[in-house]
Amino acid sequence: MAPEPTVYIVDDELIIRSTLEDIFNAAHLPVETYASAEDFLLAYSPDNPGCMLLDIVMPGMNGLELQKALSARSNNTPVIFLTSSGDVQIAVEAMKAGAIDFIEKPVEAKVVLQCVKKAIELDQRRRYEQLQHSQVELRVALLTPRELEVMNWVIRGKSNKMIARILDISSRTVEVHRKNVFDKMQARSVADLVQMVLKAQQ
């Protein structure tokens, strides 16, 4: 069973962690809190769905450094920064580095919930697209070199007869390869096949 989307809070202030935890518990959203970036990195896996709320200013590794460390691990989980009024410019720079939003302290329940729900939806969409991409890659890997050739001509709109002339094989052989391509790729139409190939190339 896949883990539930979780809100990961990293903030050195106990009162902030407690306030946010109460907000998410009331909204029935799974939540985990950490007092330092170092503790969070020891426990976290990029495979875990959800989003992160990171304080910008913390002792030891700060929020920006944590963001960079997560990026180095190929993390795509959405990051939201918690800031004080004086940290807004830093938060803007963090967004340029990939964060999706920032929330000023003291946090308001309505604002933080709206922001987090959008982040979780974004994470779910990204993970679904990545899963689709991986499935297409696996299907492409099942094709023989000749089937790959036939597929590349099919998605360019070439008929079986034209492909047969190009590859110097019989139309019947092209039909067999074409059927194998559609079966292995689980494509229902040429348009479906084109979309899959585009995903594999992204």
Is 20:31 a contact under the CB 8 Å cutoff?
A: yes
Is 80:101 a contact under the CB 8 Å cutoff?
A: yes
> What share of the chain has pLDDT > 70, as a percent?
97
User: Does residue 11 carry a pLDDT above 70?
Assistant: yes
Residue 137 falls within a domain, yes or no? no
Choose among 199, 54, 49: nearest CA to 136: 199
> What is residue 2's predicted lDDT score, i.e. its pLDDT?
61
Residue 135 falls within a domain, yes or no? no
Residue 133 falls within a domain, yes or no? no
User: H-helix or E-strand containing 91?
Assistant: helix 88-96
User: Does residue 199 carry a pLDDT above 80?
Assistant: no
Residue 120, CB half-sphere, CA atoms under 13 Å: how many? 16
Query: Which CATH number do you get for residue 86?
Result: 3.40.50.2300
Residues 173 and 78 in one domain: no
Domain count within the chain:
2
- Which pLDDT band holds residue 85 (cuts at 50, 70, 90)? low
Residue 191 falls within a domain, yes or no? yes
Residues 95 and 153 in one domain: no
Is 49:123 a contact under the CB 8 Å cutoff?
A: yes
Residues 57 and 116 in one domain: yes
Is 168:175 a contact under the CB 8 Å cutoff?
A: no
> What is residue 90's predicted lDDT score, i.e. its pLDDT?
77
pLDDT in tens, 99-157: 888 888 888 999 999 999 999 999 999 988 888 888 888 899 999 999 999 999 999 99
- Amino acid identity, position 79: V
User: Does residue 96 carry a pLDDT above 90?
Assistant: no
Question: Could you tell me the residue range of the domain that residue 40 belongs to?
Answer: 6-128
